[in-house]
Structure 1
Amino acid sequence: MKKTIWIVVANQAISRIFEAASASGAIEEKISVIHPASRLREKDLVSDAPGRTYDRFGAGRHRTDPGSSQHAHEATGFAAEIASTMRDAVSKGAVGTLILIAPATFLGELRGKLDSVTLQHVTLEIVKDLTHLDAAGIRSRLPEFLPRH
């Protein structure tokens, strides 16, 4: 049995997984996930105002700056969810090849969440946000023959 090829097209708000049975065939959408928290405004994600602190000298008082934004935290969690889906498919032997398509920052997040076994199945990475395209549009942006693991 030939293992299928998964094309994972994602950004911090949307994940779409397409499947190809052959290296030169058409692709078909299998899984689509929307992460609504990534579309909210920062102030809607955080329940409190930033903390306040006093100056070292004098009576000045100001807000503290959080180390990272809540949007970055949400993107990291969503990348972990996508990575888990890919890891499960690879470990079950259902997928042999992974192709990742995502904007640069999210591709880095996604790659960082993949375990070494799943990462070995990634044969192509494309740094673009193609989540808005249909299956034919995405297939036209890929090589004629998809690389196999």
Structure 2
Amino acid sequence: MAIAWVLVANQSHARLFEAANASGDLHEVEGMIYPEARMKGTEVYSDGPGRSYDSGGEGRHGMGNPRELHNRAGSRFAKELAHTLERGRQEGRYEKLYIVAEPQMVGNLREELDSPTRATIAGETGKNLVSSDAREIRSQLPYLL
């Protein structure tokens, strides 16, 4: 059993690492990709956003909010990640959990994790280090996990 799991994530990509001992190196266990978060709204949903006329004049503009679609996709990915973390905790695969993720994803994960899994969180860092190597990620964590 690993002493700690480290989840490194953003809205569309996550990597899960484990540390066998408190001061040990990180070893990647799993990588997860959520391509839907990188798609345009019209690629995800068959209906495009509505259009509206300006209140004065003859101009028209779109009514959709592309940022909202991105946030919804990030929430769905956070739900998948939460299930993975909960299953690992239930199987006794780790004692402590560290989350290194972009701030929006940290918030999404907090909302999706059940309370027993949330209780295993030993630290959080609001940075997007998904493309970083294990040594750089490890440097963002406490010396003793």
Deviation string, structure 1 residues 65-121 (Cα, Å, up to 9, x no partner): 357732221111100000000000111111111000111111100111000000000
Query: Cα RMSD (Å) of the superposition?
Result: 2.4
Gaps of 5+ in 1: none
CA–CA distance in structure 1, aligned partners of residues 106 and 76 of structure 2: 13
* Cα contact 2:51–2:63 (8 A) shared by 1: no
Q: 1:54: how far off? A: 8.9
Output the TM-score relative to the length of structure 2.
0.86
* Cα contact 1:42–1:69 (8 A) shared by 2: no
Which aligned pairs between 1:1-149 and structure 2 lie closer than 5 A? 3-51=2-50, 65-66=63-64, 69-146=68-145
Bigger Rg, structure 1 or 2:
1
Output the TM-score relative to the length of structure 1.
0.84
Superposition misfits of 4+ residues, deviation over 4 angstroms: 52-55
Q: 1:141: how far off? A: 1.9
CA–CA distance in structure 2, aligned partners of residues 64 and 140 of structure 1: 45
Gaps of 5+ in 2: none
Identity of paired residues, percent? 36
SS of residue matched to 1:79: helix
* Cα contact 1:24–1:144 (8 A) shared by 2: yes
